């Protein structure tokens, strides 16, 4: 089942902060975050595993609430380069396929 | 080191024609995936192969078939294309199994069915 992302779209000025949320109705092993620029392939940002392990981008942080099956991506002091569509992907058990949400479009202007 | 290579990049088909999208990876990954991307729908999983010799249906498998030819290659076939299959198709790979292993995507294949 597809995870639910919110909001659908965010408009920011440079330097502002944003939070993108992802929730699932199923118990999760991991949550992934990817960013896609227009006309390009999605690129990995962050992975959070059940149990606390995480790996990802230096300037982007995320959290994973295992009890609520929710994850949030925190974009602080946004830059123009942050613009794009952000997808969360959820993995129900280790080694199963990632199911992605519908995406959140982030637009950052100067 | 090309990573994940998809061919063709663009294709126009007529309704009822067949075609195969090819995906090859040189990352020695075990798991390979096919997703389709449509406006407002996100990335939807069509089929995947957790390891060489296995394939499984994803969220939207109808109208597609796949072949995991070997560890490197995973193809997606449309036997009788329909306009509803107009989409951008992404192949992705990862190590598989447990742990923090992430997806690497190919550049995508844009398919238009008239």
Does residue B15 sit in helix, strand or coil? coil
User: Out of A30, A41, A89, whose CB is closest to B90?
Assistant: A41
Tell me how far apart the alpha carbons of residues B35 and B14 are, in angstroms, rounded to a whole number. 21
Tell me how far apart the alpha carbons of residues A101 and B83 are, in angstroms, rounded to a whole number. 24
Residue A97 to residue B33, Cβ atoms within 8 A:
yes
Residue A2 to residue B42, Cβ atoms within 8 A:
yes
**CB atoms closer than 10 angstroms to residue B47:** 23
Minimal CA separation from B15 to chain A, in Å? 25
CB of A52 less than 8 A from some CB of B: no
Max distance between CA atoms of chain B, in angstroms, equals: 43
* CA dihedral (B64, A96, B42, A38) positive or negative: negative
Residue B45 to residue A53, Cβ atoms within 8 A:
no
Digit-coded pLDDT (tens) for B69-92: 899 999 999 999 999 999 999 999
Q: Nearest residue of A to residue B51 by CA position?
A: A95
Q: Nearest residue of A to residue B98 by CA position?
A: A94
Per-residue pLDDT of chain B (114 residues; tens, 9 = 90+): 679 999 999 999 999 999 999 999 999 999 999 999 999 899 999 999 999 999 999 999 999 999 998 999 999 999 999 999 999 999 999 987 777 788 999 999 999 999
CB of A84 less than 8 A from some CB of B: no
**Token couple for A110:** 């100067």
Residue A100 to residue B35, Cβ atoms within 8 A:
yes
Phi and psi for B66 in degrees, rounded to 5?
Answer: -130, 160
Tell me how far apart the alpha carbons of residues A68 and A61 are, in angstroms, rounded to a whole number. 19
Q: Distance between alpha carbon B41 and the CA centroid of its chain, in Å? A: 16
Contact B39, B88 (CB under 8 A): no
Q: Which residues of B touch A31 (CB under 8 A)?
A: none
3-state SS record for B18-65: CEEEEEEECCCCCEEEEEEEECCCEEEEEEEECCCCCCEECCCCCCEE
Digit-coded pLDDT (tens) for A37-95: 999 999 999 999 987 777 787 778 999 999 999 999 999 999 999 999 999 999 999 88
pLDDT for the residue numbered A23: 97
- CA-angle at A2, arms to A25 and A58, nearest 5°: 90
Tell me how far apart the alpha carbons of residues B67 and A17 are, in angstroms, rounded to a whole number. 44
Residue A41 to residue B50, Cβ atoms within 8 A:
no
**CB atoms closer than 10 angstroms to residue A60:** 16
Residue B108 to residue A41, Cβ atoms within 8 A:
yes
């Amino acid at each position: 089942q597809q995870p639910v992302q919110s909001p659908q779209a965010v408009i920011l000025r440079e330097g502002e902060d944003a939070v993108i949320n992802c929730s699932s109705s199923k118990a999760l092993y991991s949550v992934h975050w990817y960013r896609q620029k227009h006309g390009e392939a999605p690129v990995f940002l962050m992975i959070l595993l059940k149990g606390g392990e995480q790996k990802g981008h230096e300037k982007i942080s995320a959290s994973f609430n295992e009890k609520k099956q929710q994850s949030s991506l925190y974009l602080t002091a946004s830059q123009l380069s942050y613009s794009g569509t952000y997808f969360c992907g959820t993995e129900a058990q280790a080694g199963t396929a990632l199911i992605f949400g519908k995406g959140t479009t982030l637009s950052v202007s100067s | 080191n090309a990573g994940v290579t998809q061919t063709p990049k663009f294709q126009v088909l007529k309704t009822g024609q067949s075609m195969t999208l090819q995906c090859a990876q040189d990352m020695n990954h075990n798991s390979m995936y096919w997703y389709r991307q449509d406006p407002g729908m996100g990335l939807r999983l069509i089929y995947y192969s957790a390891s060489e010799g296995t394939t499984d249906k994803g969220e939207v498998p109808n109208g597609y078939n796949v072949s995991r030819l070997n560890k490197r290659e995973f193809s997606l076939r449309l036997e009788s294309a329909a306009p509803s299959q107009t989409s951008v198709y992404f192949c992705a790979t990862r190590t598989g199994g447990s742990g923090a292993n992430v997806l690497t995507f190919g550049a995508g294949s844009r398919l238009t069915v008239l």
